[in-house]
Structure 1
Amino acid sequence: MFSRARNLLISGVGAAAVVLGAAAPGIAAGDDTPLPSAVETFEYPGAAKILKERGIRLDSGDGHILLADCKVSADITVFTKKSDDVNQGKICFKVTGSGKKGYLSLDIPDVMAIAAGKYGAWASVGGPTGMVNVPKNDVKAVGEAAWGEPARLLALQV
């Protein structure tokens, strides 16, 4: 009797494996279709539209420094020579999260100064200084205003 029960159990498990195997979704043997990537690229959303409309190239970041409306939020303000836009050469950024950490890779030409609000910031600037520390509630001159040559803002970090 024991062997008969064991045989029934084994055959039941085998049948269940066949049914579940046939019903389980997956890739068929020999299918060369690549799986979609789940890797985050950290590309800035809407970057092409912002570049076309405002001339600001936003490359990538961690989502904690975002382009903002200067009338609403200005945790970090970048002052440029460009004065023909609605913000008269000001480009504002909002710091999200706790404000303890944030990064944004970008490219803004003809930068004159960078101001930090309640969060201090580091700016990577093309020019003789490279990195510029902007303490909270302070403004640092860069580019023509500081060393007589145009500067490009390449990254912001909180």
Structure 2
Amino acid sequence: MLSRARRLTVAAMLFVTLGTIGAYTATASALTSSPRLAAEPPAPFAVEDLNYPNSAQILAEKGIKLIRGDGNITLADCDDTKKQIRVVTVVEPNVNRQRFYCFTAHSTSGQLTLELARVYAIDAADHPLSADLTANGATQTVNIPKDGYASVGEGTVGGARSVLVEIRITG
């Protein structure tokens, strides 16, 4: 049998617990029945799909198709005073293209999927790179050391027209 003091303690605890549940229920009911809150749609979930932002505009303005990446390699304006990944292309008459495309590396690892035709050289700057190029239905991977430069595609003796399809920072 419980002593009188113990019964009062249990009763007080029960009263506090029920009071808290009642207050919570009343608050939740008031929140969900509020016309302002009930009319607002739930916030959308932020889902990163890794697609390159503004890629259609960049293609129209600069002639390079940026598809997707992890954000650690980004297209940049070429600046000779900065260490940048530099890609050299063959410029064709009446084609909206640049001779040089520069990229900034924001980390020691990164990946960018793109389409850039008629590439003939890649300068790795201050990060080692791996680059995938396609020509005649085959893909070739070229590894370029830090501060290295590689002739690729038409830049090599007898080389085929190549499309740069991926750049990866490897260290």
Given the two structures, how large is their TM-score scaled by the length of structure 1?
A: 0.79
* In 1, Cα distance between equivalents of 2:97 and 2:110: 24
Structure 1, residues 12-68: CA drift from partner, whole Å, max 9, x if none? 12311312322456xxxxxxx886232211121221111110110111111111111
Q: How many percent identity over aligned positions?
A: 34
Q: 2:106 aligns with which of 78, 96, 103?
A: 96
1:60 alignment partner, SS class: strand
Paired residues of 1:74 and 1:93 also in contact (CA < 8 A): no
Compared with structure 1, are the counterparts of its residues 79 and 10 closer, same or farther at alpha carbon in structure 2 (3 Å cutoff)?
closer
Structure 2 distance, partners of 1:10, 1:142, is 74
Of the structure 1 ranges 85-94 and 60-69, higher mean CA displacement relative to structure 2 is found in 85-94
Q: Which residue number in structure 2 is paired with residue 9 of structure 1?
A: 16
**Does the 8 Å CA contact 1:75/1:92 hold for their aligned counterparts?**
yes
- Which of 67, 70, 91 aligns to 1:82? It is 91
Distance 1:8 1:149, change over 3 A: same
Q: Is the 8 A contact 1:82 1:88 kept in 2?
A: yes
Structure-2 change in CA distance of 1:45 and 1:83 (3 Å): same
The equivalent of 2:149 in structure 1 is 139
Name the structure with the higher helix share: 2
Q: 3-state SS of the aligned residue for 2:25?
A: helix
1:42 matched to 2:50? The reply is yes
Q: Deviations over 1:118-154 (max 9, x none)?
A: 1111101113561101112221111122243100000
Shift of 1:8: 3.2
Q: Determine helix, strand or coil for the equivalent of 2:160.
A: coil
User: Could you say if the C-alpha distance between residues 88 and 17 of structure 1 is closer, same or farther in structure 2, counting changes exceeding 3 Å?
Assistant: closer
RMSD: 2.8
1:16, 1:120 → 2: CA distance?
Answer: 62
- CA distance in structure 2 between the aligned counterparts of 1:90 and 1:105, rounded to whole angstroms: 17
Asked if residue 157 in structure 1 is aligned to residue 168 in structure 2, the reply is yes
Which has the greater radius of gyration? 2
What is the letter of the counterpart of residue 79 of structure 2? Answer: K
**Which ranges of structure 1 fall in alignment gaps of 5 or more residues?**
26-32
- 8 A Cα contact 1:75 1:119, kept in partner: no
Is contact 1:75-1:93 (8 Å) kept?
yes
Tell me the TM-score normalised to structure 2 length: 0.74
Aligned length: 149
